[in-house]
Amino acid sequence: MCKRVLLCDDEIHILRAAEFKLKRAGYDTRIAGDGQEGWEVIQEWLPDILITDCQMPRLDGLGLVQRIRGNPATQQLPVLMLTAKGFELSFDELSARWNVLALSAKPFSPRGLLETVNRALAAEAVVA
């Protein structure tokens, strides 16, 4: 069974570029346009990893991560966060408080994102 990846971002070109790269690598990938839509997808289709933007309408990435960590069914879900405000967010704080595995600045390299996903899922497999 291939690994499931959920991408949450309100910028469609970001979603499509990342989705294309991940699907070509064999991942079962779904997309959501904001955190609220992402949360709804998670309720029906639990991914193996979430990649979410920090700033989105309705429910931002941090709000989504807070919901995920507050729910026993999803609290262990690996999360990678994307942001255009890389210098305003502290990865150390996100990691310590919310168990965010990586923080990538936008614009990002789809290949680099794929490598990060591969490493994160490989690390999860070792822990499990």
Domain boundaries of the chain, sorted by first residue: 4-127
The DSSP code for 32 is: E
- 5 contacts 29 by C-beta, under 8 angstroms: yes
What is the pLDDT at residue 69?
96
Task: Please give the model's pTM, rounded to 2 decimal places.
Answer: 0.90
Give the best-scoring range by mean pLDDT among 28-32, 86-90, 96-100, 118-122: 28-32
Does the 4-127 domain belong in CATH 1.10.3720.10? Answer: no
pLDDT at 26 over 80: yes
